[in-house]
Every structure is written in structure tokens, then in C-alpha cells.
Structure 1
Amino acid sequence: MKEAIWGTAQRWFPDRQIYHRSDGQVRYFAISTTLQVSALFAATVLAGWLCFTTVSVAFHGRAIAAKETQIEEERVQASRLIAEAQASEATAISLVESQSAEFDRTAVEFQLRHETLRQLVEFAEQLSGSIMEPSPELDDGRVLMAATPADPTPREARDSLVSLASLSEDPEDQINYLMGEQDLVLAQAEDATETRLENLRAVLRLTGLNIEDVVASGRDTDEQGGPYEPIVMDASFGPGLELNHQFSSRINRIAARMLEVNELERFSMEGPFGEPIAVPHRRTSGFGVRLDPFNGRPTQHRGMDFGAYRRAPIVATGPGEVVYAGWRGGYGRTVEIDHGYGFRTRYAHLHEIAVRRGDTVERGQQIGGMGSTGRSTATHLHYEIWFNGSAIDPDRLLRAGRYVQ
């Protein structure tokens, strides 16, 4: 087999000689069959290697390209996942910040409500006033006090608020519970204020005067001042934060009622509502037209007459300043007191006078003794009340005074 192959190789590649002539010299090179076969084999191996490497490089480039494509896809997928994770993180952070801001807003509003209620309570404690019977009546038994108006703000039951606070430990539920407690306190303050206000109005209506005009007269004459500090704080702790509108409106309404109560109570304390005689007495003549005791002709009687014993203590019917103390024509010895709010009282026919002009007197303070000086038929007190320059029936204020005292 080897000999056959070798024979074939010798036939295809016989020994050859290559002659080379140069400078008259002839040289030759012998190329044997073995050398030719070896050269062919080497050339074949080299060609095969070149083909193999070429094919390998071609296929490897495709693999590299495919790998790069896969890597790029994976990179894009990773970028998308990262972007989604970042978006989820941003959403979570935004939600936490939003909830935190809402909680802070609720907490600050609670603080505002608490501070407002504190000011309201302090303001209520400053209100002065005497104790009055709750339902003044006329002689025929009719009740004068109007019913308390219905509260336009619905109130949540206390039991539901307590159960909410006991079952939940959520801070927001606790704050809602505390706000509910504040609403209950506010409701009690509102009811008490409305009841007190309606009671005062009912009592003062007995005077037959326009109470708004009376209070306005008191504002004009009082010497008051100071910086303006509103009880309701509409200013916010943070941008755009204000008290709940319903709560703020309710506070304003109650504060206005309290101011009105304060004014009416001041008037009830400072107005001439007391009895002018400090001992048991009787009424001898009323206000209005009567027959003159001296000439028997009809005359206008601008006051009321009270009878008692000589030198019975005559007292001021309200706090004020003595603007006249002395003899005044037919009135005899007379004392006049300015009570503010446009009111003046006159006490006439006194036996003696115990005060001087410019003195400040309190309700119930003795200003003289009953007598019969001036144009008088017997020992008695002539008592007048003047409002803004006009005489009014003293019985109106005496009747209201039964509930004010």
C-alpha cells in the first residue's frame, strides 16, 4: 500500500533538476519527490489552516455580534428595572412625605384649635355678671326668655369618640378623638353662652328700651383702649394652613355671643336696676299723668313716689358719679347720679344729703335720708330715671332689677 502510494507520488512528482547558468557557470538544484511531496503537504496544511481560521473568524464574529446584542438587551432590561425601582422609590418617598405633611398639618391644626379654645376659656372667665333667675316671667305667668336657637353644627356623640380612642392606637385617631373632645367643650360653652345671652335679653326687655342703643351708648362713654388681639387665630403656622372653616366660624360666633353677654352683663351691673330705699317701703304714686296734690289739676309726673319713715336710708340704684348734690327748686334737697349708658337718676325731697358732687358711689350705697323738702306734702322720695335726656318710667328698670340683683 505504501509502495503504491509512493509510486503514484513518484509519477506525479518525479525527481527534477533545475539548472541555473550565471557567469559561464552552470549550477543545478535537485528537487526530489520527497521534497515536492513535503512542500505540497505543507502547502495543503497551510491552505487548510487558512481556510479553517477564516471560517472560524467569520463564525466567531457572528457569535460576538450575537453576544453583544444579548448583552445590550440585558443592559436595556437592567436599565428599565433600575428606572422602575427608582420610580417606585420616589413614589414611596412622596407618599411618606405626603402622609407626614398631612399628619403635621393635622397636628398643627389641633394646636391651633387648642390655643383658640384656651383663649376662649380665658375670655369666658373674664366675663362678669350677677346671678339671675333663669326664666323671668310677667305677672300673667308668661315666660319672657326665648328658646335657645338650635345649633347649626352637628355634634358627634361622646361615646363614639371614646370607643374610637380606646380601640385604635393610631395617632391620627387619637388626634381626631381630642378634636372631638374640643368640639364637646365648645358645644357646652356655646350652649351656656346662648342660654345666658337669651336670659339677659329677656330680663333687659322688661325695661322697654332698645338694648342695642343702650349698649352702644355705653361704648361711646367708656374710656377703653389697648392693642387689638383677636380671640380667633386665622393666621397659620405654615403656608396655606388655616383653621377648619366650620370650627373657625363657630368660634367667631361664640366669641361674638360672649362679647354681647359681657356688654349686657356690664349694663346689668352698672345700670340703675336697684331699689332706691334700703328699708321696707311702699309706692305712693306712679309715673305719668296724675292730679297735682296742690292744685288738683292734671300734670305730668316724671317719676315715682315712695313712702317710708323720716330719714329712711335712700341708696343709689346703680354705680355711678354724683353730678349734683344740693337744693333744686321744687325738688328740695336733691341728688343726681350719672350711671353711664345715657342713664341718670334723681332722688328728691331728701331730709339730708350724704354725698358730694364728684363722688363715686356703688349700688346700695346710702346717699341721703328720706324727707319732705321742696314742693312736697309729706315725707316721701321722688325718684326719677332719665335716659338720653328723656324721663322714663322707673318701674321698668325696677321690674327688671328683680332678676338682675
Structure 2
Amino acid sequence: MLTHAAYRINATLERYLPEQRLFLRSDTDTRFIRLRPVTQLVAICGASMFVAWTIVATAILMMDSIGAGSSREQAQRQQAMYVERLNLLSADRDLRAEEAARAQERFNLALEQVAAMQERLLASEDRRRELETGIEVIQSTLRRTIQERDEARGKAEEATLALAETTGSTRSDEGRARDTVATLAILTDALGSAAQERDLMEGAAAKAAERADEILAEKRALQRQNDEIFARLEEAVTVSMEPLDKMFRDAGLSPDDLIETVRKGYSGMGGPLTTTLSTSGAISSPDLTRANEVLQGLDRMNMYRIAAFKAPFAMPVNTPVRYTSGFGGRNDPFGRGFRRHEGQDLAGAYGAPILATADGVVTYAGWESGYGRLVKIRHDFGIETRYAHMSQIRVNVGDRVSRGDRIGDMGNSGRSTGTHLHYEIRIGGEAINPMTFIKAARNVF
């Protein structure tokens, strides 16, 4: 049966590949090699497979070469974009710092203007009170003069009536007539002097009223100017504080608790005695209240700035990286099922510098199972950062580091499938998503 099948296959192949003979002639004899159809088929298949393998291998090599060139160009473009982004962030940071300095200068100038206006207002108030006192004195003098005039007129009438009763007639002899004329002349002079003094006092009162109106108009103009200055200052403080407040809340931190902690750590006092915007012992004016509110806002903004610098609002690398495994649940890369991932993986070049993301103290620097070469840094506000899988550690336990200091190099130590940095942030011992801090910082700095 097998022989019959082989015969049929050979007969079928002979239709397409007839038997060939390859003759080999020498000086003495002639030989030939018989090429059966099956042999030819095997040779053709082998040659076809070799050609196909050659084509596929060449294509793979060309694709790898093209892909490598594209990857390098892409990495170069990403690096250029990252450097440009860093330059933009640096320029924006310098611009913000310059704006803050200018705002501080404007605020100091505004405070000086407010103090000067307060002094002018107090001086105007004193002048107004003096004018009111002068007007009251003039009015009192006028009332007294008019009363004396009325009393003199009454006494003159009483003297005339007494003379009439004595002589029986209003007419008297020559002596009495002269006395009466002299009395009337004295009364007339007194009345004239009183009327003249009254006219002078009425003019002075009118001028005082005009001056009081001018002072009131000046006071209203100064008040409008004060309102405009305070409105601008309040708007500047609000606009500057809102992004910082949002940044802390997005990171899951309480701004009030942070400010209270910073205030406890920066509570030193002293220095020479200087004047302040105090309201003790006096009635607080609206302008003084608003000025104190602006000062409190600036103090809060300064506390925000200190807290932001002491919290890890920064990237742990300054070279191009790729975000691989994120925070939360994931499939274990070593096939151990679904596991919790308590950090953010950043894949980059071997030996790339790893930077501290905030000021702090190194509490651990060595090998730890799973993490490989690991560095732990304790920061303020109960925050801890961890940097794992390093190829080299450049700090020691107890070292105090600042934001941006190099603490190690990126590597592949420990339980790792490739070169990357495992970055963790813990608050009160509990791991949180590091991208919350990284994204919050991007929106402000």
C-alpha cells in the first residue's frame, strides 16, 4: 500500500518535474547523477525557504534600523521639548518672583500713601474742630452783644420814663438835655460797635463754613483714593492666593493646618520698636481695618510660599522619562496576580540623576527587599518620599537635603523588570498618589 502511494506521488511529480541526469565526464570514463522528482522538489523547497528567510531577515534588520533612528529622533525631540518646558517654567517662575517683588513694592508704597493720607485726614479733622470751636465762640459773642444792646435800650427807655415822671414832661432843662444827649451818643456808639463786630463775625463764620466744605470735599476725595488702592491690593492678594490654596487642596492637604504648622516653626520675634497699624486705645477706622486685612492676607501668602517649598511639589527627575505603572491596583509584572502599587513608576535612562523633591532629612539609604536600593526622606507636615530601584545611592542616613539635590542614580535593582524609578509619597505613613503633587505643582510653578 505504501509502495503504491509512493509510486503515484512519484508519477504525479514526474509530470511537473521530470527526472534529470547530471553527467560528469573525466579522461577515462563518464558518470551521471540521477535527479529524481522528489530530490528536485526538496532542492526547490530548500532554495525557496532560504530566499524567503533572507528576505524576512533583511526586512527585519531594515525595520529595526528605521525604528532605532525614529526612537532616537523622538527621544531627542522629547528632550528638546522638556528642556524648552523647563526654560519656560524657569522664566515663568522668575516672572512670578519679579511680579511678587513689584507687588510688595507697590504695597509698601500704598501703605506709605495710606499713612500720609491718614495724617492729612487727622490734621483736617483737627482744623475742622478748631473752626467749629471758633464759630461757637463767635456765635456766643454775638448773642452776648445782642443781649447787651437790648439791655442798653431797655435802660435808656427806663431813664426816659423816670425823667418824665420827675419833671412831669419829657422835656427838661438844658443840663438834663445834655445828659440825655450824651447817654444816647454812648448807646449809639455801643450799638454801632456791636453791629460792626457782628458783621465781622458773620463774615468769619461764612469763611469757616466754606473752609469746612473744602475740607469735607478733600476728605471724600482721599477716601475714594483709599478705596481704589485697597481694592487693588485686595484683588492682588486674592489672585495670588487662590492658585496656592487650590494646589494644597488638590494634593489632599489642609491649608489651615499647613499654615498653622509653618507659623509654629517660624515664630521667632524681636527687633527694634517701630510704629504699627494698631487700633488699641482708639476707635478702629474702616481704612485701618482693611489695611490690617491686607497685611494678614500677605502673611498668609508668605506662609503658603514656605509650605509649598517644604512639600514635595516637584519632579524627582529632570531628564526625559515615560510614565509606566501608576498608583493603585495593577497586574503584577512577575505574574503574581492583581496587586496594589503604592507609587508611580518613571522609566528613563540608566544612571539618570534622581533628585529630592523637597527639603528634608534622609532616614534610610540602603537595600530593602522588593525596593532594591532605596532612599527615604522625611519632610515637614508628616510627609515622607521614597525613591526605589536605584543603581547608586549618593546620600547617607542623617543627611539634610534640599529640593533639587541629587540623591542617587536611576537603575534596575530589586524587584524590577527594567530601568526605572519607583517614586512614593506617604502622609502619616499612608501612601498617596504622587501624581497629585506633580500635577498640582504644574498648575502653579
Query: Could you state the TM-score of these two structures normalised by the residue count of structure 2?
Result: 0.51
For residues 325-404 of structure 1, what are the structure 2 equivalents within 5 Å? 325-327=364-366, 329-330=368-369, 331-404=371-444
8 Å contact 2:345–2:423 — kept in the other structure? Answer: yes
8 Å contact 1:336–1:345 — kept in the other structure? Answer: yes
The 1-side partners of 2:399 and 2:195 are apart by 88
The 2-side partners of 1:342 and 1:280 are apart by 30
Relative to its length, the structure with more helix (as a share) is 2
Aligned to 1:68: 179
For residues 268-307 of structure 1, what are the structure 2 equivalents within 5 Å? 268-293=308-333, 296-307=336-347
1:39-90 CA-to-partner distances (Å, cap 9, x unmatched) read xxxxxxxxxxxxxxxxxxxx99744334434434544554455566667767
* Match among 201, 211, 216 for residue 255 of structure 2: 211
The 1-side partners of 2:175 and 2:397 are apart by 120
The 1-side partners of 2:430 and 2:190 are apart by 94
8 Å contact 1:218–1:340 — kept in the other structure? Answer: no
Instruction: Look up the SS of the partner of 2:391 in the other structure.
Output: strand
The 2-side partners of 1:62 and 1:329 are apart by 138
Instruction: Look up the SS of the partner of 1:191 in the other structure.
Output: helix
Displacement of 1:193 in angstroms is 2.0
Aligned to 2:277: 232
- Mark the CA change 1:204 to 1:270 in structure 2 (over 3 Å): closer, same or farther: same
Displacement of 1:377 in angstroms is 4.3
Displacement of 1:349 in angstroms is 2.4
Displacement of 1:332 in angstroms is 3.3
1:251-308 CA-to-partner distances (Å, cap 9, x unmatched) read 2332232222222233333321111122111222222334454572554433222222
For residues 32-47 of structure 1, what are the structure 2 equivalents within 5 Å? none
Aligned residue pair count = 275
1:96-120 CA-to-partner distances (Å, cap 9, x unmatched) read 88998x79xxxxxxxxxxxxxxxxx
- Mark the CA change 1:256 to 1:296 in structure 2 (over 3 Å): closer, same or farther: same
Query: Could you state the TM-score of these two structures normalised by the residue count of structure 1?
Result: 0.55
Aligned to 1:309: 349
For residues 70-219 of structure 1, what are the structure 2 equivalents within 5 Å? 70-76=181-187, 78-79=189-190, 82=193, 180-219=224-263
The 1-side partners of 2:397 and 2:288 are apart by 49
The 2-side partners of 1:96 and 1:233 are apart by 36
The 2-side partners of 1:392 and 1:84 are apart by 91
Instruction: Look up the SS of the partner of 1:188 in the other structure.
Output: helix
The 2-side partners of 1:85 and 1:357 are apart by 97
Displacement of 1:91 in angstroms is 7.5
Deviates more, 1:83-92 or 1:341-350: 83-92
- Mark the CA change 1:76 to 1:328 in structure 2 (over 3 Å): closer, same or farther: farther
8 Å contact 1:303–1:383 — kept in the other structure? Answer: yes
- Mark the CA change 1:174 to 1:97 in structure 2 (over 3 Å): closer, same or farther: closer
Instruction: Give identity over the alignment, percent.
Output: 31
The 2-side partners of 1:275 and 1:231 are apart by 42
Tell me the C-alpha RMSD between the 2 structures.
3.9
8 Å contact 1:218–1:342 — kept in the other structure? Answer: no
8 Å contact 2:259–2:300 — kept in the other structure? Answer: no
The 2-side partners of 1:77 and 1:343 are apart by 97
- Mark the CA change 1:62 to 1:222 in structure 2 (over 3 Å): closer, same or farther: same
The 2-side partners of 1:337 and 1:286 are apart by 21
- Mark the CA change 1:333 to 1:86 in structure 2 (over 3 Å): closer, same or farther: farther
> RCO (CA 8 Å, sep 6+): is it higher in 1 or 2?
1
Letter in 2 for 1:278: N
| Structure 2 unaligned blocks of 5 or more | 1-169
Instruction: Look up the SS of the partner of 1:258 in the other structure.
Output: helix
- Mark the CA change 1:95 to 1:348 in structure 2 (over 3 Å): closer, same or farther: farther
Letter in 2 for 1:71: A
1:23-50 CA-to-partner distances (Å, cap 9, x unmatched) read xxxxxxxxxxxxxxxxxxxxxxxxxxxx
Letter in 2 for 1:345: T
